[in-house]
């Protein structure tokens, strides 16, 4: 049985009964804030700006039916069968075309088809990480990567981004200081395009320097790129993989955001020795990814529909992004700041320092609106004043209403703070009003930020 407030969280007495059987690594396991929220935000009355959901309602049901019918007629037995672990050639051909659209040529031999891009993150950790090994990631980072990093007991060092993504000079300083401690990170994790959750894009000079740094220091880079083709303005930038000619880069791609997340199909491209180990890791995880959805993708690409559909998504999401940015300007306080993404699905907003978005979320949920609190994108308790807002999975009207409600909650908290402290506080004001313990327990996120701390183990 699980606790009534958190359906998937076991009660303490149940944990005790089984705890002696658990592997020690389970002590480091963490749930992603985003996943925890999904259960709550499934309630139809909740406007969720928390998810990272593509709007699958835009995919024509007739096309879906026609593709499935064609797969049934032409490839019924194969679609219902196991496939090779590395993936079907027909799916790899679609992947090759997607990567070519981003200016990156790839040999089908170098591709591993995976069960979502998420599996790539897991397999990379499975292949490279021993307990205590260092991963360098951006701050904030993709909340969904955190459960994988924690399961493999990685020590994650997060580097604060600016408007051009991860500053590579800071990365180099961090690598130097780790080297002085005799530690070499196993990989650098980056989402260069329209970062999740930050919404920022790594500049070309930084991309070039990152690729050089990786080669000079012989450190792998995991280039996580679900959003590169969802650009709404500006010039596309080359992938790290194309800049590096593949050296020291593991590339993660996915069909989730350009076609469907329900297909659960992604891929990795990596140097051959790394790919071979990831393949073995995948054999243990799931033998192979779904043959049925690989056939679906192959048929969809054969019909030449993917580019027009992608174009329609760009148009839709561009409009929703603009709606969100407009609503933020209208309803958020003057002290708040937020990113202006040129693509992707997310805006990262930062409130005055005395506000804690984990507490705000509890209050927002009472008004049936949700977002991802910033702490969910850090491993060390930072991010308390920030939030991730999604604009792809909700209508313009819901975006406006959702932001209005969040703005109202923020306004009340700002006022409460002003009343308690006797003045409208400056951005650097010290302590926030004590959170209501009951409300603050919506998500199990670390409660005590350690200013300046960088590592998940608390060392600086």
Contacting residues for 365 by C-beta, under 8 A, at least 6 apart: 40, 46, 442
Rounded to a whole number of angstroms, the minimum distance from the CB of residue 355 to ligand PMP is: 25
Q: 230-261 burial by CB neighbour count: b if 16+ within 10 A, else e? A: bbbeeeebbbbbbbbebebbbbbbbbbbbbbb
C-alpha to C-alpha distance for 253 and 95, rounded to whole angstroms? 8
Tokens of 389: 């807002």
C-alpha to C-alpha distance for 249 and 120, rounded to whole angstroms? 13
CB-nearest residue to ligand PMP = 116
C-alpha to C-alpha distance for 193 and 229, rounded to whole angstroms? 9
Rounded to a whole number of angstroms, the minimum distance from the CB of residue 117 to ligand PMP is: 3
Q: Which residues pair with 388 in a beta bridge?
A: 348, 372
For strand 249-254 and strand 220-224, is the pairing parallel, antiparallel, or unpaired?
Answer: parallel
Query: Distance of alpha carbon 424 from its chain centroid, rounded?
Result: 35
- The residue among 88 and 261 lying less far from ligand PMP, judged by its C-beta, is 261
- The residue among 106 and 263 lying less far from ligand PMP, judged by its C-beta, is 263
- The residue among 226 and 425 lying less far from ligand PMP, judged by its C-beta, is 226
- The residue among 268 and 369 lying less far from ligand PMP, judged by its C-beta, is 268
* 8-state DSSP, 268: E
- The residue among 110 and 224 lying less far from ligand PMP, judged by its C-beta, is 224
Rounded to a whole number of angstroms, the minimum distance from the CB of residue 142 to ligand PMP is: 4
- The residue among 52 and 199 lying less far from ligand PMP, judged by its C-beta, is 52
Query: Distance of alpha carbon 44 from its chain centroid, rounded?
Result: 24
- The residue among 347 and 440 lying less far from ligand PMP, judged by its C-beta, is 347
Rounded to a whole number of angstroms, the minimum distance from the CB of residue 261 to ligand PMP is: 5
- The residue among 197 and 402 lying less far from ligand PMP, judged by its C-beta, is 197
Rounded to a whole number of angstroms, the minimum distance from the CB of residue 428 to ligand PMP is: 32
Query: Distance of alpha carbon 118 from its chain centroid, rounded?
Result: 9
Residues that bind ligand PMP in the complex, under the rule CB under 6 A: 52, 116-118, 142, 144, 191, 196, 224, 226, 254, 256, 261, 266
Rounded to a whole number of angstroms, the minimum distance from the CB of residue 66 to ligand PMP is: 24
Rounded to a whole number of angstroms, the minimum distance from the CB of residue 51 to ligand PMP is: 9
Rounded to a whole number of angstroms, the minimum distance from the CB of residue 413 to ligand PMP is: 29
Handedness of CA 433, 387, 187, 277 (dihedral sign): positive
Q: 55-58 long-range CB contacts below 8 Å, 24 or more apart?
A: 55/313, 55/316, 55/317, 55/392, 55/393, 56/260, 56/261, 56/262, 58/309, 58/312, 58/313, 58/316
- The residue among 225 and 242 lying less far from ligand PMP, judged by its C-beta, is 225
- The residue among 46 and 258 lying less far from ligand PMP, judged by its C-beta, is 258
Rounded to a whole number of angstroms, the minimum distance from the CB of residue 233 to ligand PMP is: 20
What is the side-by-side order of every strand in the sheet holding 187-190? 111-114, 266-269, 249-254, 220-224, 187-190, 134-139, 155-160
Q: Give the chain's radius of gyration (CA, Å).
A: 22
Rounded to a whole number of angstroms, the minimum distance from the CB of residue 374 to ligand PMP is: 16
Residue with tokens 């992707």: 344
C-alpha to C-alpha distance for 181 and 432, rounded to whole angstroms? 36
The verdict on whether omega for the bond into residue 420 sits within 30 degrees of 0, i.e. cis, is no
Contacting residues for 445 by C-beta, under 8 A, at least 6 apart: 33, 358, 373, 375, 376
- Cα dist. 194→176, 199, 440 in Å? 28, 4, 30
- The residue among 75 and 193 lying less far from ligand PMP, judged by its C-beta, is 193
Q: 4-7 long-range CB contacts below 8 Å, 24 or more apart?
A: 5/441, 6/36, 7/39
Rounded to a whole number of angstroms, the minimum distance from the CB of residue 186 to ligand PMP is: 18
């Amino acid at each position: 049985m699980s606790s009534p407030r958190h359906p998937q969280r076991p009660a303490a007495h149940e944990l005790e009964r089984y705890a002696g059987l658990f592997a020690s690594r389970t002590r480091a396991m963490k749930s992603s804030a985003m996943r925890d929220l999904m259960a709550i935000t499934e309630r139809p009355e909740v406007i969720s700006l928390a998810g990272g959901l593509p709007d699958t309602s835009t995919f024509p049901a007739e096309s879906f039916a026609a593709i499935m019918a064609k797969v049934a007629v032409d490839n019924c037995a194969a679609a219902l069968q196991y496939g090779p672990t590395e993936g079907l050639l027909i799916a790899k051909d679609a992947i090759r075309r997607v990567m070519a659209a981003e200016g990156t040529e790839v040999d089908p031999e170098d591709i591993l088809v995976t069960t979502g891009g998420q599996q790539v993150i897991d397999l990379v950790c499975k292949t490279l990480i021993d307990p205590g090994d260092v991963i360098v990631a951006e701050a904030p980072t993709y909340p969904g990567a955190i459960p994988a990093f924690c399961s493999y007991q990685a020590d994650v060092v997060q580097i604060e981004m600016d408007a051009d993504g991860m500053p590579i000079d800071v990365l180099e300083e961090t690598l130097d200081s780790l080297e002085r401690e005799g530690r070499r990170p196993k990989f650098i994790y980056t989402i260069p395009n329209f970062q999740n959750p930050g919404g920022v894009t790594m500049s070309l000079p930084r991309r070039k320097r990152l690729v050089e740094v990786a080669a000079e220091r012989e450190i792998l880079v995991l280039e996580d790129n679900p959003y590169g083709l969802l650009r709404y303005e500006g010039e596309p930038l080359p992938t790290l993989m194309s800049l590096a000619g593949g050296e020291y880069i593991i590339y993660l791609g996915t069909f989730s955001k350009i076609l469907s997340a329900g297909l659960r199909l992604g891929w990795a491209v990596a140097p051959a020795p790394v790919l071979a180990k990831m393949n073995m890791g995948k054999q243990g995880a799931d033998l192979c990814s779904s043959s049925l959805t690989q056939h679906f993708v192959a048929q969809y690409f054969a019909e030449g529909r993917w580019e027009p559909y992608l174009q329609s998504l760009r148009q839709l999401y561009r409009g929703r992004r603009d709606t969100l940015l407009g609503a933020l300007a209208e309803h958020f306080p003057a002290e708040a700041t937020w990113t202006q993404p040129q693509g992707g699905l997310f805006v990262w907003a930062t409130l005055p320092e005395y506000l804690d978005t984990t507490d705000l979320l509890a209050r927002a949920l009472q008004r049936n609106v949700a977002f991802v609190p910033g702490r969910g994108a850090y491993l060390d308790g930072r991010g308390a004043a920030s939030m991730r807002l999604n604009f792809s999975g909700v209508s313009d009207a819901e975006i406006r209403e959702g932001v209005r409600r969040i703005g109202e909650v923020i306004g009340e908290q700002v006022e409460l703070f002003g009343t308690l402290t006797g003045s409208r506080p400056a951005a650097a004001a010290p302590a926030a009003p004590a959170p209501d313990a009951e409300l603050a327990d919506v998500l199990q996120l670390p409660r005590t930020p350690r200013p300046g701390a960088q590592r998940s183990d608390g060392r600086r």
